[in-house]
Amino acid sequence: MSASDLAGSAASNQSAPSIRWGRVAREVLRTVASVLVTILGLLALTFFIGRLLPLDPVLAILGDDASQEAYDRMVVQLGLDKPLWQQFLTYVVNSLQFDFGTSLTSGKPVTEDILRVFPATLELATVAMILGTGLGIPLGVIAAANRDTWIDQVVRVLSLIGYSAPIFWLGLLGLTVFYAGLGWVGGPGRIDILYQYDLTPRTGLYLIDSALAGRWDIFADVFSRIVLPASILAYGAMAYISRMTRSFMLEQFSQEYIVAARAKGASRTQMIWSHAFPNIAVQLVTVVALSYAFLLEGAVLTETVFAWPGFGRYLTTALLRADMNAVLGCTLVVGLIFITLNLLCDIFYRAFDPRTR
């Protein structure tokens, strides 16, 4: 090999890492720009929804009997006398600082209210997600492995019911049967009033806080109250996850590598768990993440039925009382949850699936 060829090879070897890192930098910048544009669009959407709704924020604060002088003074105080673009700019700056205004319902900052109620929803949704994922994935795999048999039909019917049955009806039925009738679970609420002031909140998650404090009597009470609403939420998540898992597995079973594995003498268990399932794991991450996001923002009816003092119930109360600061603040939080989980899924895809790079 000539000296020029060696020099060219060395130069290409040195340029390869720089090209790779340049590509990574462009991907990161593109992702950051996409997230920023999405957040800006979310802010614009919530701002104009708040302006288009037939609700007067001034009257919501002062009441219908307010004088014209008090009305005008409140308009100036809220900044509603400024041009629309200036109001939007102020709204964006405040929202980026997590300043969503003061709640008309509680009289406290909306951010403070959300931080107070969100741990209850986080705990409920997390328990529901563990149950839904732990049941939904195996059921979907079993249904796909036994396609068109009675096992597959049972799983599909259970999934259909989970999709179709109204949440509030399932909640009322569950309370009637398992609480009022059989006495197997605790009643509505997150914790018995006898224990409410005995538990020192550390994480805001009562199951963890009671376990850290060694108060297993409180742990048992909290668990007895969370198990029913979490199971009802988990049923809906399980229905979606099992259907998607079944669909993904059936697609893999039709691939040529499965036929080759069968021809080489691979057992049925090996084909399912060693060959097909690893190839759908990355897809399932997105399904589970989106299901979790829906549980975090979609527990409104469940929290209302079970008197669960969480994010969904707070949002429902704000809607009923026309508390637009709280409603828009909650809407932004929900949007940020979806954006964050989608971003994490995208990062996970790129890290573990070479085809996406």
Asked whether residue 61 carries a pLDDT value surpassing 70, the answer given is no
Section 49-56 average pLDDT: 68
Section 278-289 average pLDDT: 84
Section 299-317 average pLDDT: 82
Q: What is the pLDDT of residues 136-173, one digit of tens each?
A: 999 999 998 888 888 889 988 888 888 788 887 888 88
**pLDDT of the residue at 15:** 56
Highest-scoring range by mean pLDDT, 48-52, 99-103, 210-214, 243-247:
243-247
**pLDDT of the residue at 98:** 81
Asked whether residue 338 carries a pLDDT value surpassing 70, the answer given is yes
Q: CA 69, CA 178: separation in Å to the nearest integer?
A: 57
Asked whether residue 320 carries a pLDDT value surpassing 70, the answer given is yes
Share of the chain above pLDDT 70, in %: 83
Q: CA 110, CA 105: separation in Å to the nearest integer?
A: 10
**pLDDT of the residue at 139:** 92
Superfamily of 110-356 according to CATH: MetI-like (1.10.3720.10)
Which band of pLDDT confidence, cut at 50, 70 and 90, is reported for residue 131? very high
Asked whether residue 229 carries a pLDDT value surpassing 60, the answer given is yes
Task: Answer positive or negative: Cα dihedral of 329, 333, 335, 339.
Answer: positive
The alpha carbons of the chain give a radius of gyration, in whole angstroms, of 26
Of the two residues 3 and 93, the one the predictor is more confident about is 93
Please calculate the CA angle 138-126-112 and round it to the nearest 5 degrees. Answer: 165
Asked whether residue 14 carries a pLDDT value surpassing 60, the answer given is no
Token look-up 């998607």 returns 244
